[in-house]
């Protein structure tokens, strides 16, 4: 492969688009293949792209086995929990053993190639073992974020139809135990599909009653398989490695389906060209395995690159002794000589509330760059952390669907300056364009706002389809721009004269709370289920800390209740509890306010943007289509009314 470090990024990028097969043939050499691919990209049935057809490989082999020979004793997985005060480093050889033990257990529970294994776990090492073990035996993992409530978990169980669920007694957050088992039992009760077995890691944090015949404890099974020798199952490059659910504009979660070979190559290439990985160094992503960043850059990416990956359970502001400590991450950077760190703007905004001196308490000389993604990175936050750490802060824009960055700076190819407020330029393989939402025409002149779309084929590593719903994949992502078959990101953006993109927010009803993507429809459907609620609108409102928060405006069946502060307080509490129970705390609205009518157009469409503007104290804009101007006044009044307190009631 030519030395990418000497070529210009513009040439590198052009080749990835104009000479696609040659470009990706070179990238494919970054991983091990059992059988090399026969065809680099099959795009005979757009928009479905099949990468590295005919090749066979294995994600777990590339993440673990191939490093065991070269560096068996080098650290592979460093697990740290400031919640339980525990730290443990697994070398590549030890990780190899643990993954085989887990794989043997899954096989003993009847898991076969292609079967789904749902992982509902806190940030424990066993969660990574389970993911890698699935990849090892060709099973498909479906990780569901541990913070999700029973209702959300049940809908994912029904969609994924797992043979086995891997879970634990509990997670911990801020010193509080969150029992998982009752949530899981309730979810299985609610779901139509019944998993055959549940494998449970007992952390001794919460009671763990077992369902006879279904539930199995991990520890005794592990002891039974201490010497397990489970070879990697060589699978086709196009074999599904996992599904991961993400929010869209409908209540039904979408299972983003990922392949094996394309994903392995995409991650290996990104580790080299974007994250400048060096084997033997340590990568620390503060995300969670429940999110795409956790899949790509806690578990697979760093390991594929031969790096140690630091997996952290806990808050950024709580030390290993359980005492408040906003420098805990930097203590870990020092201790484990982290070179590359990945986090989210929200987390930095949390740290920004503390004195910048915390960033200087520890020796951070190992750290070379901090990558931030998941939501817009505002300039003051970027400036603060950049000044504090003295390393490049690299914004990167991507989605669960893409699996790796769409826009950023590929410093591993050519060092280029970042611009505050811009995630950067299109990454190799992504033919990113801006189009007019109405005409579908591409905008070529700079500084014009358009919808960010990607011309097919999507590069390796991106979603293959919606799990078991090809039609939804085509209709949702590829058919929304008139006259064009292009992938819609549903983000607004613009490109400046230097080719840097700026992301200007979502073009659909998805909101972004602390880097987590939520569909407003999902929350609306949940709230509408409350017997007193006649109608509800949920929208994202700018928030200094979380980027956005959800605000709910509800019309009650019995309008008189809205006039009674005690009833309002009670109903707001009940609705919050409902959202907590069905969707989880992440989806809980900041406020639920009650109005007599919602602002709508004459054709009955909710004027979300006008409501959002009012909530953010901005001008509501063009209101010619508004049916009843009193509706917006009601929103203003509801916002201005003092929050009822229990005493007032
Ligand atoms: P998710 O699939 O949960 O990762 O959410 C993806 C969405 O988050 C994107 O479509 C954007 O709306 C937003 N997003 C992710 N990264 C960035 C970024 N660097 N700048 C602005 N928005 C971002």
Contact of 493 with 504, CB cutoff 8 Å: yes
How many domains is the chain built from? 2
Looking at residue 150, which CATH number applies to its domain?
3.40.50.12780
The whole-angstrom separation of Cα 452 and Cα 429 is 15
Q: Which percentage of the chain shows pLDDT scores above 90?
A: 78
**H or E segment to which residue 360 belongs:** none
Whether residue 469 is found in the same domain as residue 556: no
pLDDT per residue as tens digits for the range 282-311: 999 999 999 999 999 999 999 999 999 999
- 35 alpha carbon – ligand 1 mean position (Å): 36
Are 574 and 455 members of one domain? no
Decide whether any atom of ligand 1 lies within 6 Å of the 462 Cβ: no
pLDDT of res. 562: 85
User: Do 411 and 544 lie in a common domain?
Assistant: no
Residue 649 inside a domain? The answer is no
- Pairing relationship of beta strands 170-173 and 215-217 according to DSSP bridges: unpaired
Indicate the pTM of the whole model: 0.90
Quick one: which atom of ligand 1 is closest to the CA of 377?
20
Atom of ligand 1 nearest to the CA of 512: 8
- What is the residue with the minimal CA distance to atom 4 of ligand 1? 399
Q: Is the pLDDT of residue 564 over 50?
A: yes
**Are 533 and 420 in the same domain?**
no
Mean pLDDT is lowest, of 176-180, 268-272, 541-545, 572-576, for 541-545
**192 and 319 share one domain:** yes
Instruction: Give yes or no: residues 70 and 208 share one domain.
Output: yes
Looking at the fold, whether 177 and 234 belong to one and the same domain comes out as yes
CA distance 145 to 122: 8
Ramachandran class of 159: left when φ > 0, alpha when ψ lies in -120 to 50, beta otherwise = alpha
Taking Cα atoms as reference points, which of 485, 478, 644 lies closest to residue 561? 644
Residue nearest to atom 18 of ligand 1 (CA): 397
Helix/strand/coil percentages in the chain, nearest 5: 35, 25, 40
Instruction: Report the Cα–Cα distance between both ends of the chain, in Å, rounded.
Output: 72
pLDDT over threshold 70, residue 387? yes
**Residue 494 domain-assigned?**
no
Distance CA 377, CA 394 (A): 10
Report pLDDT for 437: 87
Q: Which residue carries 């019944």 as its tokens?
A: 194
Q: Which of 211-215, 349-353, 471-475 is the least confident region?
A: 349-353
pLDDT of 649 strictly over 50: no
Q: Is 489 part of any domain?
A: no
DSSP H helical segments within 87-195, as ranges?
92-108, 125-137, 150-160, 181-190
CATH number of the domain encompassing residue 634: 3.30.300.30
Same domain, 471 and 522: no
Q: Sort 339 into a burial class: Cβ within 10 Å, 0-12 / 13-18 / 19+.
A: buried
More confident residue, 147 or 102: 102
* Domain identity same for 88 and 130: yes
- pLDDT band with cut points at 50, 70 and 90 for residue 251: low
Q: For residues 460 and 522, state if they share a domain.
A: no
What is the per-residue pLDDT for 648? Answer: 43
pLDDT tens figures, 185-210? 999 999 999 999 999 999 999 999 99
pLDDT reported for residue 636: 92
Nearest atom, ligand 1, residue 407 CA? 19
Do 115 and 172 share a structural domain? yes
pLDDT at 23 over 80: yes
On whether residue 590 sits in a domain, the answer given is: yes
- Is pLDDT of 435 > 50? yes
Place of tokens 């504009």: 249
User: How much distance in Å is there from the Cα of 258 to the middle of ligand 1?
Assistant: 18
Residue 503 Cα: closest atom of ligand 1: 21
- Cα distances from 418 to residues 392, 403, 408, in angstroms, run 8, 22, 8
Domain-terminating residue out of 436, 459, 478: 478
Mutate to test the pocket of ligand 1, among 393, 397, 401, 406 (most ligand atoms within 8 A of CB): 397
Does residue 81 fall inside a structural domain?
yes
Cα gap 635→596, rounded to integer Å? 9
**Residue 491 resides in a domain:** no
User: How confident is the model over 413-417, as a mean pLDDT?
Assistant: 95
Say what the pLDDT of residue 647 is: 56
Q: Largest alpha-carbon pair distance within the chain?
A: 73
Domain termination site, one of 478, 497, 526: 478
Query: What pLDDT is stored for residue 2 in this prediction?
Result: 44
Task: Enter the DSSP assignment of 231.
Answer: P
Q: Which residue among 462, 478, 494 closes a domain?
A: 478
**326-344 tens-digit pLDDT:** 999 999 999 999 999 999 9
Cβ of 290 less than 6 Å from ligand 1 = no
Residue 193: in which H helix or E strand, if any? none
State which H helix or E strand residue 47 sits in. Answer: none
Claim to verify: residue 454 and residue 514 sit in the same structural domain: no
In a domain, 246, yes or no: yes
The mean pLDDT value of the chain amounts to 93
Nearest-CA residue for ligand 1 atom 7 is 399
Q: Is the CB of 56 under 6 A from ligand 1?
A: no
Ligand 1 site-directed mutation target among 402, 491, 506, most atoms within 8 Å of CB: 491
- Could you tell me if residue 495 is inside a domain? no
Report residue 4's pLDDT band, with 50, 70 and 90 as the boundaries: very low
Given this model, what pLDDT does residue 603 score?
65
* For residues 566-573, average pLDDT: 93
pLDDT in tens, 252-272: 789 999 999 999 999 999 999
Q: How far is CA 290 from CA 114, 245, 414, 512, in A?
A: 20, 9, 32, 16
Give residue 633's domain range.
509-640
Q: Quote the CA–CA distance of 621 and 585 in Å, as a whole number.
A: 32
Question: What is the mean pLDDT of the segment spanning 494-519?
Answer: 89
């Amino acid at each position: 492969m030519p030395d990418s470090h000497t070529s210009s990024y513009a040439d590198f990028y052009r080749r990835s688009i104009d000479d696609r097969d040659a470009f990706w043939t070179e990238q494919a050499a970054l991983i091990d293949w059992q059988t090399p691919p026969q065809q680099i990209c099959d795009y005979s049935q757009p928009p479905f792209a099949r990468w590295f057809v005919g090749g066979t490989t294995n994600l777990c082999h590339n993440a673990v086995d191939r490093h065991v020979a070269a560096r068996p004793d080098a650290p592979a997985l460093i697990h740290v929990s400031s919640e339980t005060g525990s730290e443990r480093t697994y070398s590549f050889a030890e990780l190899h053993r643990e993954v085989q033990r887990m794989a043997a257990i899954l096989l003993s529970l009847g898991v076969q190639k292609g079967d789904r294994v749902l992982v509902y776990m806190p940030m424990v090492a066993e969660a990574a073992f389970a993911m890698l073990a699935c990849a090892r035996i060709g099973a498909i993992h479906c990780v569901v974020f541990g913070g999700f409530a029973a209702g959300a978990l049940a809908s994912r169980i029904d969609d994924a139809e797992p043979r086995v669920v891997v879970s634990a007694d509990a997670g911990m957050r801020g010193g509080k135990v969150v029992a998982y088992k009752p949530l899981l039992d309730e979810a299985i009760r609610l779901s139509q599909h019944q998993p055959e077995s549940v494998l449970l890691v007992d952390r001794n944090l919460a009671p763990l009653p077992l369902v006879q015949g279904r539930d199995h404890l991990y520890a005794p099974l592990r002891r039974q398989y201490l010497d397990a020798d489970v070879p990697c199952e060589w699978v086709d490059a196009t074999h599904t490695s996992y599904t991961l659910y993400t929010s869209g504009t409908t209540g039904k979660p979408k299972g983003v389906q990922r392949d094996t070979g394309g994903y392995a190559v995409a991650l290996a290439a990104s580790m080299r060209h974007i994250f400048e990985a060096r084997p033997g160094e340590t990568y620390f992503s503060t995300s969670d395995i429940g999110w795409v960043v956790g899949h790509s850059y806690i578990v697979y990416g760093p390991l594929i690159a031969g790096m140690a990956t630091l997996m952290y359970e806990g808050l950024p502001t709580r030390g290993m002794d359980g005492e408040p400590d906003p420098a805990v991450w930097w203590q870990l950077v020092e201790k484990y000589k982290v070179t590359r760190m990945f986090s989210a703007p929200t987390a930095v905004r949390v740290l920004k509330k503390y004195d910048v001196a915390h960033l200087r308490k520890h020796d951070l000389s190992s750290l070379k760059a901090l990558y931030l993604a998941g939501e817009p990175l505002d300039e003051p936050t970027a400036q603060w952390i950049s000044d504090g750490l003295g390393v490049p802060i690299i914004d990167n824009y991507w989605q669960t669907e893409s699996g790796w960055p769409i826009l950023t700076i590929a410093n591993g190819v050519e060092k280029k300056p970042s611009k505050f407020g811009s995630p950067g330029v299109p990454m190799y393989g992504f033919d990113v364009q801006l189009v007019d939402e109405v005409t579908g025409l591409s905008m070529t002149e700079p500084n014009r706002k358009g919808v960010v779309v990607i011309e097919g084929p999507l590069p390796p590593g991106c979603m293959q389809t919606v799990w078991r719903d090809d039609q939804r994949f085509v209709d949702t992502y590829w058919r929304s721009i008139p006259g064009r078959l292009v992938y819609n990101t549903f983000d607004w953006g613009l490109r400046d004269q230097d080719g840097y993109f700026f992301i200007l927010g979502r073009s659909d009803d998805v909101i972004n709370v602390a880097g987590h993507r939520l569909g407003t429809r999902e929350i609306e459907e949940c709230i509408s289920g409350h017997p007193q609620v006649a109608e509800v609108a949920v929208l994202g409102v700018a928030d200094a800390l979380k980027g956005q928060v959800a605000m709910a405006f509800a019309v009650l069946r019995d309008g008189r209740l809205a006039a009674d502060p005690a009833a309002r307080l009670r109903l707001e509490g009940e609705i919050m509890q409902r959202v907590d129970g069905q969707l989880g705390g992440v989806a809980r609205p900041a406020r639920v306010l009650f109005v007599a009518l919602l602002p709508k157009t004459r054709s009955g469409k909710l004027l979300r943007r006008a409501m959002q503007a009012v909530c953010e104290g901005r001008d509501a804009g063009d209101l010619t289509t508004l049916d009843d101007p009193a509706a917006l006044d009601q929103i203003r009044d509801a916002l201005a009314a003092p929050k009822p307190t229990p005493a007032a009631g």
